[in-house]
Amino acid sequence: MKNIENMQLYLIRLGEISLKGLNRRMFEKQLKANIKLKIHPHHSLIEREKGRIYLYVEDSCPEELVYNTLRTTFGVVGFSRALVCEKNFDRICETALKVLETEPFNSGSGTFKVECRRADKNFELNSYQIEARLGALVLERYPQMKVDVHKPEKILYVEIRDMAYLYSSPVKGPSGLPTGTAGKGLLLLSGGIDSPVAGYRMASRGLRLDALYFHAYPYTSEQALGKVKDLAMLLSGYNMGMNLFVVNFTKAELWIKDHSKEEEHTLMMRACMMKVANRIARKRGCQVLVTGEALGQVASQTLEAMCFTNSMSEIPVLRPLVGMDKQEIIDTARQIGTYETSILPYDDCCVIFSPKHPLVKPDVDTETRSFLDMDIDELLDKCVEEVEMFEFSYRV
Amino acid sequence: MHYFDWTATTNISESALRVYNDISLNYYGNPSSIHPLGLKARQRLDEERSHIASLLGVKAGNLYFTSGGTESDAIVLSSLLNYQSPGTVITTAIEHSAVLEFKNILTKAGWNFRALKCPGGYLSPEALKEALTPDVRMVCIMSVNNVTGTVLDLKSLVKVVRDFEKQNGRSIHVHTDAVQALGKIPFDPVKLDVDSFAGSSHKFFGPRGVGLLYNRNRSLLSLSRGGGQEKGMRPGTENLPAICAMGQALEDVISSRDKDYETVLSYRKMIEEASLKAGYSLLSPSSESGLDFSPYIINISVKPLPSEVFLRIMADKGFCLSAGSACSTNSRGKAESVLEAMQIRSQDRMSSIRVSICAKNTAEEVELLCRALIETSGEY
């Protein structure tokens, strides 16, 4: 038996993972590792049970760290801080009063119910009796509250097992699958609203991400790069840390400007970005690219333009936002906290490289020829060679 | 770093800083207190008011100390809200935001706020005459434009207003924002026949947070309320160290004004020449145009580079310049809209940079700047 005295207990609910078959353990193992890593150096223990896990954390660990960890760890559907006591009804009442002093019960109003699970059938009272008596206790403490057993706003859970466990309705986690269970991808990160959301979406499916940013100083500012670094940092909590690769793209952009037709500039730039991203992905062992493209959002994201940029990549390009509405994307950005940074007014692209009338329906063959005619390969190799890396910790 | 952004702000001069320290340490009484230290401070304040008034050639009784140019403009414009019935206020579309931002508040109060277009940065007396209607209560025209350095012909413009007043029999308050004129070009409010003007200390090597308001219109009623300081025009304990330091700074710049003007004019010509050589175009008047301009400011279009990019390149080369107006980086496009009101084409507006010079710059520095301007046009 592990020594769990003087440890905080959290009950974590798992969603999709518990539906897995033979490989369920792999997902659980990764989740466990992710949680432990984020809470480190605070000591923690994890016990698994079907559909949920119990997390014990040493008492000296700030509750906030655990909350932030669980709120940003994919695989966690919901969690609650649980209190443990002896299997003795008086003790259970005392502990229940403590739970009532915390969220969400401490508001003292609304509807509630008590839900009891009695694994130890030898306990003096049966589940209904426990529920009824604790219900009365809640009403005594908060006379304003009302019982609603069908659609309660708050639930007080009691479990009688080796000990008695008490906890209230769970705080929502981000759901999804544990980061690192689905391989590795390279996220093309700009300073905009979309690409951080695309990264978040793929990380939520278990993909571990590296990020890539194209910097064109002095045409784009140091503040724009700073903004991208901030975004990488915001994503790093979800992604279990993040490495941001910054490519100096100025020479390539100028080359494109001088060696292609004005209306093709944007397409050629995207093609070059794909080429550079492919080379960096190969170096870093990334199996896919991830972009924040949404169909039809701008000229370079029409179906024809996407077909062209897609043809420039040897590895698959995942576009998790392709069918999403802008508002949905913005809502997610707000929820994960990247929106405020994304809307800072530092452009990640300079107007002198943006054609007034870009091609919206490019022909793949024609554009491929234009790309080859630019003869830009050597310059792109150089971009890859001189890439800079910035590391962001998974600390939340 | 070579500083060419003197229009945005200046560093405090040593002589002004000395005064600032001396007054802070030795005249710390509140000028409203009646103990000896208070009386000493009051006396010093009165002396400084007379000192500055004599430098500007105005009556000390018409001079008020404020927190800066923006507040001075605000006192005059917001005083309109005290009027029984609203009328029309005429201004130019190339004013500083300290004036233009009153559009909303005055319009809401029922005022007709007319900002006249200024092609090339100038307002013709004819255009002003045409705009004057019997319900005009105030005319507010800047002395020197802070984006391009054009000097508006206040003398003729005020004369148009005064002639109209005589015909119409109702007085019109004429205000000018003289922030970019004070200490740089000759400025005589009495001869110009304006009713009020605004000035700011940190534009002429004085400290920040202090400015002045000249007002001879007895009926102008400030919206500010407080302990009655500055005859109620700008209540609040007087910032005596800053006021005295401003006086020192103003004395210094006025004493060397004509000499400095010549120096700055020669620098301006060098920069103008280099810009043309670099293939850029001037958005400020050329020195050969015969138009009235302040040599302290020169605005150049560095097409095809956007101003922001050009500023970064120049910053890397060690030069501090501005895009349009320094205030404009806080809210995009303001200087741009001033340039639009001057009827400058959109491409040039996007590429507009402002070089502002002062006599503290050395000829070598200006030479370096000229070389960097030419170099950059070749590189990008």
Nearest CA to B270 out of B298, B290, B292, B305 is that of B298
Confidence label for A298 from pLDDT (cuts 50, 70 and 90): confident
Average pLDDT rounded to a whole number, residues B210-220: 96
Cα–Cα distances in angstroms (integers) from residue B76 to residues A388, B142, B177, B221, in the given order: 55, 13, 10, 8
Count of domains for chain A: 2
Confidence label for B378 from pLDDT (cuts 50, 70 and 90): confident
Nearest CA to B175 out of B260, B275, B284, B102 is that of B102
Lowest mean pLDDT segment, chosen from A83-92, B59-68, B202-211: A83-92
CB contacts, 8 Å: B316 with chain A = 218
CA distance A300 to A357: 11
Pick from A126, A147, A172: which residue ends a domain?
A: A172
A184: tokens are 């590795």
Q: Let me know: does A185 contact A318? Beta carbons within 8 Å.
A: yes
CB contacts, 8 Å: A350 with chain B = 306, 309
Same domain, yes or no, for A147 and A188?
no
Same domain, yes or no, for A252 and A352?
yes
Question: What is the CATH classification number for the domain harbouring A372?
Answer: 3.40.50.620
Distant-in-sequence, close-in-space partners of B283: CB < 8 Å, separation ≥ 6: B148, B299, B300, B301, B339, B342, B344, B348, B352
A3: pLDDT strictly greater than 90: no
On whether residue A374 sits in a domain, the answer given is yes
B329: pLDDT strictly greater than 50: no
- What pTM was computed for the model? 0.82
Average pLDDT rounded to a whole number, residues B11-28: 98
Nearest CA to A289 out of A269, A318, A255 is that of A318
CB contacts, 8 Å: A217 with chain B = 312
CA angle B270, B271, B276 (to 5 degrees): 100
Mean of all residue pLDDT scores within chain B: 94
Pick from A141, A172, A203: which residue ends a domain?
A: A172
Same domain, yes or no, for A189 and A162?
no
CA distance A168 to A114: 9
Q: What domains, with CATH codes, occur in chain B?
A: 2-10+256-379 (3.90.1150.10), 14-254 (3.40.640.10)
Mark yes or no for CB contact A352/B309 under 8 Å: yes
Place of tokens 């590895």: A315
- The verdict on whether omega for the bond into residue B235 sits within 30 degrees of 0, i.e. cis, is no
State phi, psi for B20 to the nearest 5 degrees: -55, -50
On whether residue A178 sits in a domain, the answer given is no
On whether residue A179 sits in a domain, the answer given is no
Same domain, yes or no, for A194 and A332?
yes
- Give the gap in angstroms from C-alpha A269 to the nearest C-alpha of chain B: 18
Confidence label for B116 from pLDDT (cuts 50, 70 and 90): very high
Same domain, yes or no, for A382 and A233?
yes
State phi, psi for B200 to the nearest 5 degrees: -135, 130
- Give the gap in angstroms from C-alpha B380 to the nearest C-alpha of chain A: 9
Tell me the per-residue pLDDT of B48-71, one tens digit each, with 9 for 90 and over.
Answer: 999 999 999 999 999 999 999 999
Average pLDDT rounded to a whole number, residues B287-299: 95
Tell me the per-residue pLDDT of B253-292, one tens digit each, with 9 for 90 and over.
Answer: 999 999 999 999 999 999 999 999 999 999 999 999 999 9
Same domain, yes or no, for A151 and A189?
no
Same domain, yes or no, for A145 and A221?
no
Same domain, yes or no, for A95 and A132?
yes
Alpha helices by DSSP H, A17-144: 24-39, 63-71, 89-100, 127-141
On whether residue A388 sits in a domain, the answer given is yes
Confidence label for B209 from pLDDT (cuts 50, 70 and 90): very high
Average pLDDT rounded to a whole number, residues A58-85: 92
Instruction: Please report the ipTM that was assigned to this predicted complex.
Output: 0.72
Same domain, yes or no, for A75 and A190?
no
B2: pLDDT strictly greater than 70: yes
- Give the gap in angstroms from C-alpha A271 to the nearest C-alpha of chain B: 23
Alpha helices by DSSP H, chain B: 14-26, 36-56, 69-78, 97-100, 102-108, 125-131, 154-168, 189-192, 240-255, 257-277, 307-316, 334-341, 346-350, 363-379
Average pLDDT rounded to a whole number, residues A362-391: 95
Catalytic residue, from B118, B244, B327, B358: name it: B327
Question: End-to-end distance of chain B based on CA atoms, in angstroms?
Answer: 22
Q: Which helix (H) or strand (E) holds A194?
A: helix A194-203
A111: pLDDT strictly greater than 90: yes
A380: tokens are 């792109």
CB contacts, 8 Å: B313 with chain A = 218
Confidence label for B216 from pLDDT (cuts 50, 70 and 90): very high
Residue of A nearest to B331 (CA): A345
DSSP string for A230-277: HHHHHHHTTTTSEEEEEEE-HHHHHHHHHHS-GGGHHHHHHHHHHHHH
Same domain, yes or no, for A122 and A203?
no
Q: CA B40, B42, B48, B53 torsion: positive or negative?
A: negative
Same domain, yes or no, for A166 and A192?
no
Measured between CB atoms, does B276 come within 8 Å of chain A? no
- Give the gap in angstroms from C-alpha A279 to the nearest C-alpha of chain B: 29
Q: Which helix (H) or strand (E) holds B329?
A: none
Q: Let me know: does B360 contact B184? Beta carbons within 8 Å.
A: no
Q: What is the DSSP code (8-state) at residue A94?
A: H
pLDDT at A131: 95
Query: Among this protein's residues, is B327 annotated catalytic?
Result: yes
Same domain, yes or no, for A160 and A209?
no
Q: Let me know: does B177 contact B32? Beta carbons within 8 Å.
A: no
pLDDT at B334: 59
CB contacts, 8 Å: B333 with chain A = none
Residue of A nearest to B317 (CA): A218
Tell me the per-residue pLDDT of A212-263, one tens digit each, with 9 for 90 and over.
Answer: 999 999 988 899 999 999 999 999 999 999 999 999 999 999 999 999 999 9
* Domain extent for A151: 7-172
- Give the gap in angstroms from C-alpha A193 to the nearest C-alpha of chain B: 20
Mark yes or no for CB contact B312/A217 under 8 Å: yes
Mark yes or no for CB contact B313/A221 under 8 Å: no
Mark yes or no for CB contact B309/A345 under 8 Å: no
Confidence label for B326 from pLDDT (cuts 50, 70 and 90): very low
Exposed / middle / buried, residue A334 (Cβ in 10 Å: 0-12, 13-18, 19+): middle
Question: End-to-end distance of chain A based on CA atoms, in angstroms?
Answer: 31
Measured between CB atoms, does B87 come within 8 Å of chain A? no
On whether residue A196 sits in a domain, the answer given is yes
On whether residue A117 sits in a domain, the answer given is yes
A162: pLDDT strictly greater than 90: no
Question: What is the CATH classification number for the domain harbouring A27?
Answer: 3.30.2130.30
Pick from A172, A196, A229: which residue ends a domain?
A: A172
A1: pLDDT strictly greater than 50: no
Residue of A nearest to B312 (CA): A218
On whether residue A2 sits in a domain, the answer given is no
Mark yes or no for CB contact A350/B312 under 8 Å: no
On whether residue A373 sits in a domain, the answer given is yes
